[in-house]
Structure 1
Amino acid sequence: MIAAITISYTVLILYFIFLAFGRLGTVDHVTGYTFIFLPDSFFRLPGLSDLLHPTLMDLVDLGNIAAFIPFGLLIPLLYRTDFIRFMILFILSILVIETIQALTLLGSFDINDVIQNSLGAAVGFGAYKSGCRYRRIWSNIAAVGIAIAILMLGIWGSFGVVDKAFTQELSEFVAINELQDSTGQPSEGAKLDPFEIGGQKVVPQYNVYSAEGRNIETYTYMLGKGNKELYLYMNYGIPDQEDFRGSITVTVDGQVFLSMSAEDQPHEPDMFGLYLERANKLTITIEGNEKLWDVGFREMEYSWRW
């Protein structure tokens, strides 16, 4: 029974890793392999606002750990092994899976996933060793559950401390109109007049970009000397009372990260966010009646980088 459960759960996890979330449909749009060897964040120490309003990434990080806890419980029930041997074999297995995921273009090799998945297995193994000490099965289940909760809290706290010590978001939101354009001149963007999209009133705070009455307009900005690691944000849509036509293309250092036509957009304001491991030159091309507003970024820097 334990072997059947282990095999079934492994197949389920492999399905989510390789096939779920529409991965097959995105293969044709992937232009190259993605390997991320440096962790860009840790399992953050939550504040009160994080606990009340967790972000999508908080839930993804938690899921990446929780989903692999069962392996730490099931494998020791099948085979007698010590913690070191178990973790070595598990980490090697995850490294192989992540590599296959990247080479098949069904995802990326992400060291963050390796760390979080391995932590989940370690929590399960630790809970098994701590909790399975009683003769009554319900006592073992309760003890294992308590051990998992304690270990998860310990990981959350310790990794949060590491995150605070080694990672910091140095910049506040920087609107791109505060930068210089490709000609070396500051760009103020269009007037911040409000407009409506899908019946919703939009009041820009920083900038507005459009084709300005022409069929196509291109905006190019240098994000700074050297390569920057940052999160890019922008809002876009087509105002009411205008023909629903146009497109947006966002290119960073020659690579297209967003190419969206009016046919693919909802009739309401939409937001685009993008993590860029390296970014220097930003190019935005707008066609038709599209509008972009509040375009900017937050820069990330790490204390181990000079």
Structure 2
Amino acid sequence: MVKQRKNLLTVTILYTLFVLYFMFFAFGRGEASDHTVYTFIFMPDNFLLLPYPSDLLHPSLMSMVGFGNTLAFVPFGILIPWLYRVGFVRFITLFFIAILVLETIQALTFLGSFDINDALQNSVGAALGFGAYKLGFRYRSLGRNLVATAISGLVLFIALWGLGAAVDKILTKVEGPFTAITEWTDTSGNSSADKPDSIQINGQKIPLRSNLYGAEGGDSRTFTYKSEGQTIFSFTFGNPEPTDYSGEISITRDGQEILNYTGDFQRTNPEQYPVVYEMPVEPGDELKITIKGDLKVWDVGYKKMQYFWQ
């Protein structure tokens, strides 16, 4: 029994040194330590998320980081309670504190960054190992204990994999259905004109799905869109035939110009028109869309970013 404990302690120490090497010296960390910027990331995201099965078809270093951060620390959850009688709460608390200390040292020595997600993933891996140990070590035979622990660990890991994917789906927003802006008044108080069924651009008949906006007689009109939520704002634009390419469109967001197209672009690059323009808009953002000359915009609307259950 004493010999087994010594062997177990030796394995634990060697594995700890192995992990510390990867945390502080592997992946060229020493060569990158000459920078002088401390990096601390305190905001967690979905730290339970592991690469999707499709990511395994074309694995990359970045896609495997989640696996490494979790699986590399599973042995600690088995070895430490095997060596010492310790409850889960005490074990995981002390383990998490130790990981935070190591993450801080990484950042202060410029051998890595402090990332709360890494610390949480490391701790989840250790917790998974602890659970596998408690489920597996129920027999008098060491061999049966190890086999049961391995099977328990695999089952818990698959459950963790599925839980991370489910949480990711719950937390991730998706584009909702397209909502057309059918009544859009410009800054002068004029409402939109009736739209035809289609327009002609570069010899092609372009169907209009929902709306059409523009200036009449070469004048300028400015329309305003103020987002009431997180949305994807979109429209299509171009100079319909017949045209002398005198049209222009510009967009400002909260007073700062973010888009400007003139008819000369269409004259020199006719194959690129009509142009479909999309942009993400945050709550409270105000867009001003100014249309001049013959240029028209149509199918103007937005898609709200929402959770899948909404």
TM-score, length-scaled by structure 1: 0.55
In the alignment, structure 1 residue 98 sits paired with structure 2 residue 103: yes
Change (3 A) 1:185 1:128: closer
Is the CA contact (8 Å cut-off) linking 1:41 and 1:163 kept in structure 2? Answer: yes
Q: Which residue of 2 aligns with 1:80?
A: 85
* Mapped partners of 2:22, 2:259: distance in 1: 48
How far the C-alpha of 1:48 sits from its partner, in A, is: 5.3
Q: Which residue of 1 aligns with 2:28?
A: 22
| Runs (4+) off by over 2 Å | 39-58, 167-172, 179-188, 223-226
1:8 to 4, 14, 20: 14
* Mapped partners of 1:12, 1:45: distance in 2: 23
How far the C-alpha of 1:152 sits from its partner, in A, is: 0.5
* Mapped partners of 2:24, 2:66: distance in 1: 18
Aligned residue identity for 2:44: P
Structure 2: which 5+ runs fail to align? 1-6, 176-230, 233-249, 270-278, 283-304
Aligned residue identity for 1:18: F
How far the C-alpha of 1:41 sits from its partner, in A, is: 3.9
1:36 to 36, 41, 48: 41
Aligned residue identity for 1:102: A
* Mapped partners of 2:306, 2:33: distance in 1: 32
Q: Which residue of 2 aligns with 1:237?
A: none
In the alignment, structure 1 residue 57 sits paired with structure 2 residue 62: yes
TM-score, length-scaled by structure 2: 0.54
Is the CA contact (8 Å cut-off) linking 2:69 and 2:121 kept in structure 1? Answer: yes
How far the C-alpha of 1:102 sits from its partner, in A, is: 0.9
- String of CA shifts for 1:239-259, please: whole Å, max 9, x gaps: xxxxxxxxxxxxxxxxxxxxx
Aligned residue identity for 2:11: I
How far the C-alpha of 1:54 sits from its partner, in A, is: 4.4
* Mapped partners of 1:154, 1:183: distance in 2: 49
How far the C-alpha of 1:183 sits from its partner, in A, is: 7.0
How far the C-alpha of 1:137 sits from its partner, in A, is: 2.0
Q: Which residue of 1 aligns with 2:168?
A: 163
* Mapped partners of 1:115, 1:150: distance in 2: 20
After TM superposition, the structure 1 = structure 2 runs for residues 125-144 of structure 1, keeping only pairs within 5 Å, are 125-144=130-149
Is the CA contact (8 Å cut-off) linking 2:74 and 2:126 kept in structure 1? Answer: yes
- String of CA shifts for 1:125-151, please: whole Å, max 9, x gaps: 111110011122221111011001011
Aligned residue identity for 1:79: Y
Is the CA contact (8 Å cut-off) linking 2:51 and 2:67 kept in structure 1? Answer: no
**Alpha carbon RMSD of aligned pairs, Å?**
3.7
Change (3 A) 1:49 1:36: same
SS, match of residue 102 in structure 1: helix
Structure 1: which 5+ runs fail to align? 173-178, 193-222, 227-300
After TM superposition, the structure 1 = structure 2 runs for residues 147-296 of structure 1, keeping only pairs within 5 Å, are 147-168=152-173, 185-186=259-260
How far the C-alpha of 1:50 sits from its partner, in A, is: 3.6
Is the CA contact (8 Å cut-off) linking 1:65 and 1:116 kept in structure 2? Answer: yes
How far the C-alpha of 1:160 sits from its partner, in A, is: 1.4
* Mapped partners of 1:104, 1:38: distance in 2: 21
Aligned residue identity for 1:26: A
How far the C-alpha of 1:224 sits from its partner, in A, is: 8.1
Aligned residue identity for 1:143: A
Residue identity (%): 50
The structure having more radius of gyration, on CA atoms, is 2
* Mapped partners of 1:78, 1:154: distance in 2: 27
Change (3 A) 1:24 1:47: closer
* Mapped partners of 2:164, 2:43: distance in 1: 15
Is the CA contact (8 Å cut-off) linking 2:50 and 2:66 kept in structure 1? Answer: no
SS, match of residue 77 in structure 1: helix
